[in-house]
Amino acid sequence: MTELSAGIVSTQEPEDAGTTPDAPPTSVLYRELLQNYKNIVASEGVYLTDSTGRRYIDAVGGTAVNIIGHGVSEISARVADNWDSTSFVYSAFMTNPWQEELARKLASITPIEDGRVFFTSGGSEANESAVKLARQYHLDCGRASKWKVISRTASYHGNTLAMLALSGRPTWSARYSPYLDSSPKIAAAYCYRCPFSLSHPQCGIRCAEDLERVILQEGPDTVSAFLVEPISGSSLAGAVPVEGYYERIQEICRKYDVLFIADEVLTGYGRTGRTFAIEHWDVTPDIVTVGKGLGSGYTPIAACVASGAIVDKIRSVSGQFVHGFTYGGMPMACAIGVQVFDYIQEHSLFELASTRGDYLRARLEELAPTIPAIGDIRGLGLLQGVEIVGNPKTRQPFSPDRKIASRIVREAEARGVLFREGTPGANAGKDGDQIQISPPFVISPNEIDEMVSVLGDSIRTVLAEEA
Ligand code: PLP
């Protein structure tokens, strides 16, 4: 047993955490492939401790997963106290009290009319479920020709083959292109680098109008759904569409019988300061997917929440949804989901994300004028992004081969804070270098100060090397 830091004890001896190229071989595939691959042996609040005893502020919440903080032993204690004997039932044939309870709780907070919940183990599966459910709905409406799903450039919806095809992330999908159907995309809502070289409000929200253009181009009778991250997550580090954007998107979707699917796998569960990010606009999607925060990293769980109207239609016509995953809705995952839900409510964590998010944003706004290369700060709540540019006047990015964002992330790590770079090279040479900030909601103002101070020092160090 090793004392790592106050109150944090590891059962493992300190070791080389795989941070050197000559680290001993292991059975973990990623550890074989990546240098600087940490072995995290303890965690508490916003801190992670690796097997060498180094402690880090987790400024990205894993990958925007953790919201309640690390190491909350109350979750497992409450599950143990309330556990019944059922280890597994297959959700395609049976339900269980934990699934029922979590579905009821989730539906009660999701901005969907009369929501019905389908649980999965992860966000990609939840999005696949949403796309398949939309298809089944159109079949049952007698619109068999509707199958295409429109999404946006610079987007991410998951790593399964169908979701890679729908993601606007060429650096991740290009090598798998033989397996991927091409799918129609509309322009990203990215005001800092408007794809139409326009500015708001004179633009007339052209990026929303782009949906109608693509629906007409593809043929409205072929389009099933529009899939969108309400606020960009890892692809554009917190890019927020302008006021009125989703109201127009909803109008276009309704005009052409296209279902509006909000992928809230990253932004849902309070991350952006509202329970769901789409609630920053006055719209009601047809399907919402939710992931990361739902289990807060304490269990693999995600969900697809569809409107009652969709499910009622399917029930009254074909009565079929030919789909399912073995582990979707399993009792233990849902039991943990229930405890996470209750913990969030008891500690008002969604509200905390809003106030801590405002605090973080104010600190970033103070930092920006001291570093002209910070071209843009964006995001809402505790999903914030910083874009670094080579020339602040022209917004010209650094050349991708300078790897500015990944060097900043490495510098910060050496100073004890873990950030994440926004999709390396997704729009190489066009977008600036992006840093994503999405800590657990329990981060304190002091920890935010430290995180932002380390970010500033790390950016300055990397820029000094470029000078
Ligand atoms: N959708 C969004 C917006 C995401 O950010 C992610 C993961 O980062 C996914 C879907 C995929 O979720 P998972 O990795 O749980 O399959």
Dump pLDDT digits (tens) for 284-314: 999 999 999 999 999 999 999 999 999 999 9
Question: What is the pLDDT, as a whole number, of residue 24?
Answer: 64
Which of 441, 418, 76 minimizes the C-alpha distance to 292? 441
| Residues 176, 153: Cα–Cα separation, whole Å | 17
Q: Is the CB of 450 under 6 A from ligand 1?
A: no
Question: What is the pLDDT, as a whole number, of residue 86?
Answer: 85
- Hey, which of 60, 63, 124 would you mutate to test ligand 1's pocket, going by the most ligand atoms within 8 Å of its Cβ? 124
> How far from 297 is each of 61, 127, 159, 380, 455, CA to CA, in Å?
9, 19, 18, 21, 25
Which residue is it, tokens 């109201």?
Answer: 247
> From the CA of 372, how far away is ligand 1's center (Å)?
32
Q: Is the CB of 440 under 6 A from ligand 1?
A: no
Q: Give the up-direction half-sphere exposure of residue 11: CA atoms within 13 A in the CB hemisphere.
A: 0
> From the CA of 189, how far away is ligand 1's center (Å)?
19
Closest Cα to atom 13 of ligand 1: 123
Q: Is the CB of 266 under 6 A from ligand 1?
A: yes
| Residues 448, 357: Cα–Cα separation, whole Å | 10
Residue 5 host element (H or E): strand 2-5
0.90 cut: is pTM over it?
yes
Question: What is the pLDDT, as a whole number, of residue 428?
Answer: 62
> From the CA of 21, how far away is ligand 1's center (Å)?
30
Q: CA torsion angle for 392, 396, 400, 403 (degrees, to 10)?
A: 0
> Residue 174 pLDDT more than 60?
yes
Mean pLDDT of the 230-246 span:
94
Q: Is the CB of 160 under 6 A from ligand 1?
A: no
- Hey, which of 166, 292, 301, 421 would you mutate to test ligand 1's pocket, going by the most ligand atoms within 8 Å of its Cβ? 292
| Residue 328: how many other CB atoms lie within 10 Å | 25
The tens digit of pLDDT for each residue in 330-376 reads: 999 999 999 999 999 999 999 999 999 999 999 999 999 999 999 99
> Residue 32 pLDDT more than 70?
yes
Arithmetic mean of pLDDT over the chain: 92
Tokens of 235: 């692809």
Mean pLDDT of the 70-93 span:
90
Residue 305 host element (H or E): strand 302-306
> From the CA of 292, how far away is ligand 1's center (Å)?
8
Tokens of 384: 């914030």
Question: What is the pLDDT, as a whole number, of residue 25?
Answer: 67
Query: Which atom of ligand 1 is closest in space to residue 229's alpha carbon?
Result: 3
Q: What percent of the chain has pLDDT over 90?
A: 85
> From the CA of 155, how far away is ligand 1's center (Å)?
10
For the chain, the residue count is 467
> From the CA of 465, how far away is ligand 1's center (Å)?
34
Q: CA torsion angle for 67, 69, 73, 75 (degrees, to 10)?
A: -10
Q: Is the CB of 375 under 6 A from ligand 1?
A: no
Q: What percent of the chain has pLDDT over 70?
A: 93
210: region left, alpha or beta (phi > 0 left; psi from -120 to 50 alpha): alpha
Which of 235, 231, 228 minimizes the C-alpha distance to 252? 228
Mean pLDDT of the 78-89 span:
86
Tell me: ipTM over 0.85.
Answer: yes
> From the CA of 158, how far away is ligand 1's center (Å)?
5
Complete DSSP assignment for 213-242: HHHHHH-GGGEEEEEE-SS--TTTTS--PP
Mean pLDDT of the 273-283 span:
98
Q: Is the CB of 122 under 6 A from ligand 1?
A: yes
| Residues 432, 385: Cα–Cα separation, whole Å | 11
Closest Cα to atom 7 of ligand 1: 158
> From the CA of 272, how far away is ligand 1's center (Å)?
16
Q: Which residue has the higher pLDDT, 5 or 343?
A: 343
CB 269 within 8 A of CB 293: yes
> From the CA of 118, how far away is ligand 1's center (Å)?
16
Q: Is the CB of 67 under 6 A from ligand 1?
A: no
Q: Is the CB of 264 under 6 A from ligand 1?
A: no
Closest Cα to atom 12 of ligand 1: 123
| Residues 143, 78: Cα–Cα separation, whole Å | 47
| Residues 249, 287: Cα–Cα separation, whole Å | 14
> From the CA of 464, how far away is ligand 1's center (Å)?
35
Reduced to 3 states (helix: H, G, I; strand: E, B; else coil), residue 150 is strand
